[in-house]
């Protein structure tokens, strides 16, 4: 049950937006939430907009963490994370990318992300989002074959057009000309970075070649695929 102060604030805001702004409370958006501003949910439901933010935690990430942590457990589950992350077309992040992020930022080994892990994840996503928009040259909201090739080249990866095509076929949207949404772009780049680091551990001469046994290959793949 919500505290009395929160209930009072909700009632006031309902009246304000219903009669002053002309927005009926019953009006719903696609996600089933009242058509009220984001700060309404952060404040009205006892979520501190400017509370005691832990040291080292991004303030914006903290507010999002509080709003996403629906069960107030102090941790973000896979389901909660998936609902929190959206692509430029408002589709939720795919399951593989969400699992990858849980594995990367779960520092407790519980399969959940605490506020510190979520703050790091928040910065991680924002950085990749900036790069995504940088390489989305035609402002289509997704990354094409040519844009991915250019992006990876600027990141220092020399990959053949055939390999780029294979990546697009595996991770892109199913169409004659597959493209990558933000979630798949993050997944591809993160996995490529991880596998490259694993290869470089074997390529001690930095020649671009390495000798691997079958077990070495399996070990490298199993430990580096996030």
- CATH number at 213 reads 1.10.238.10
Residue 21 lies in a domain: no
Residue 110 lies in a domain: yes
* C-alpha–C-alpha distance, residues 32 and 45, integer Å: 16
Residue 152 lies in a domain: yes
Residue 179 lies in a domain: yes
Domain that holds residue 120: 88-224
- Letter string b/e over residues 48-67, b meaning 16 or more CB atoms within 10 A of that residue's CB: eeeeebeeebbeebbbbbbe
Residue 108 lies in a domain: yes
Statement: residue 159 has pLDDT above 70: yes
| Overall domain count for the chain | 1
Residue 210 lies in a domain: yes
Residue 13 lies in a domain: no
Statement: residue 166 has pLDDT above 70: yes
Reported as a pLDDT band with limits 50, 70 and 90, residue 223 is confident
Residue 111 lies in a domain: yes
The closest of 62, 55, 13 to 35, measured between CA atoms, is 13
pLDDT tens, 18-40?
433 344 333 333 444 344 444 33
With beta carbons less than 8 A apart as the criterion, state whether 43 and 9 touch: yes
* C-alpha–C-alpha distance, residues 165 and 178, integer Å: 9
């Amino acid at each position: 049950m919500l505290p009395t102060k929160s209930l009072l604030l909700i009632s006031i805001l309902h009246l304000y937006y219903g009669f002053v702004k002309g927005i009926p409370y019953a009006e719903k958006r696609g996600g089933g939430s009242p058509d009220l501003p984001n700060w309404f949910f952060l404040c009205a439901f006892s979520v501190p907009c400017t509370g005691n933010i832990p040291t080292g935690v991004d303030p914006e990430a903290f507010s999002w963490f509080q709003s996403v942590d629906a069960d107030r457990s102090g941790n973000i589950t896979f389901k909660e994370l998936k609902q929190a992350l959206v692509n430029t077309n408002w589709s939720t992040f795919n399951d593989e990318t969400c699992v990858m992020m849980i594995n990367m930022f779960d520092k407790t080994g519980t399969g959940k992300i605490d506020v510190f892990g979520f703050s790091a994840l928040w910065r991680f996503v924002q950085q990749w989002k900036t790069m995504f928009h940088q390489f989305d040259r035609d402002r289509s909201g997704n990354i094409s074959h040519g844009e991915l090739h250019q992006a990876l080249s600027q990141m220092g990866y020399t990959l053949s057009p055939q390999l780029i095509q294979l990546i697009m076929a595996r991770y892109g949207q199913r169409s004659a000309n597959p493209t990558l949404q933000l979630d798949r772009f993050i997944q591809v780049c993160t996995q490529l970075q991880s596998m490259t680091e694993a290869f470089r551990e074997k390529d001690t001469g930095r020649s671009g070649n390495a000798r691997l046994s079958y077990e070495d290959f399996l070990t490298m793949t199993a430990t580096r695929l996030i």
